[in-house]
Homo-oligomer: A and B are copies of this chain.
């Protein structure tokens, strides 16, 4: 910047004002300085600026796994909005590892990001609270933390779970199995709760329910076992679409036709869902909207210094395809 100043015959201050579009600069010098800047290929150092202003123009997005379509969609939407507002984002994977989650949160703190979006934190309340102090602005996605000033975006999985259960009940199914995903999953428990709300007696037979890892493999293994043990199951509600795909594979192996013998429903509506055979009836989670909303809340929080713990609920929507008509 000193270079520019010298070449333009002005002070660094003047250059700074030109770069930042301050209005107390004469048109003449402004243009002269601009020209030199472009000719030189000068790039103002946002890092020096950050030191001076205490704002870095960077945000952190922390997800379990950015290659999981669930999070990559969210990340994309968030990055898109951030870009429009002139922010850059640090992308951090936790790999479902609490230790690593703590580490990246700390490193983002050291990088002095202006705020973070944290998806599906695996930390317990105390750890999370501790890891978040030091971060001026935070948005939590798919995770509640009471008495904390971070904003929150939640997918209404109770409503989604209710919708899938209602659908299979209306189709006349009586014995409805559930592949409920990981035992510790918050989303999983919400979806189960949703299933229950539409049952007459508010409960379901536990022997029709089984936990499984949230993968094709998990759905295949546990689904096969469940269908063998409870042969009169005629509909299967799955934790997510991958589990549903696994369950369908298991059905094929057991010579059960989907949906004639067993109807299968997924959850999330990842791109894959429409493309498998039979195409998946599933609950569409608007990830795009989720990511956009999270970033919107974060920017709003940064701009207005508003620290109210806003909370935004995203509504999923049942999509009826061929696996459970």
Contacts and interface: CB of A to CB of B under 8 A. Distances in A.
Interface string A34-58: 0000000101111110110000111
A156 interface: no
Interface residues of A, number: 49
Contacts of A111: 46-47, 57-58, 88
A308 interface: no
Contact of A67 (B58, B72, B100): B72
A28 interface: no
Nearest to A91: B91
Interface in A100-140: 100, 104, 106-112, 133-134
A162 to B, nearest CB: 28
A289 interface: no
A75 interface: yes
Contacts of A235: none
A76 interface: yes
A110 B79 contact: no
B216 A275 contact: yes
A67 to B, nearest CB: 4
A195 to B, nearest CB: 25
Contacts of A110: 43-46
Q: Which of A47, A93, A107 has the most CB of B within 10 A?
A: A47
A9 interface: no
A112 B46 contact: yes
Contacts of A134: 41, 43
B92 A79 contact: yes
Contacts of A76: 65-67, 93
Given A44-B110, A88-B111, 16 more contacts: A43-B109, A47-B51, A48-B51, A58-B111, A65-B76, A67-B69, A67-B72, A69-B69, A72-B72, A76-B93, A83-B92, A83-B93, A90-B91, A91-B91, A271-B272, A276-B276
Closest 6 CB pairs of A and B: A277-B277, A91-B91, A67-B76, A67-B72, A46-B110, A72-B72
Interface of A: 41, 43-48, 50-51, 56-58, 61, 65-67, 69, 72-73, 75-76, 79-80, 83, 88-93, 95, 100, 104, 106-112, 133-134, 216, 245, 271-272, 275-277
25 contacts: A43-B106, A43-B109, A43-B110, A45-B51, A45-B112, A46-B111, A47-B47, A47-B51, A47-B111, A48-B51, A51-B51, A58-B111, A65-B76, A66-B72, A66-B75, A66-B91, A67-B69, A67-B73, A67-B76, A83-B93, A88-B104, A88-B111, A90-B90, A91-B91, A216-B275
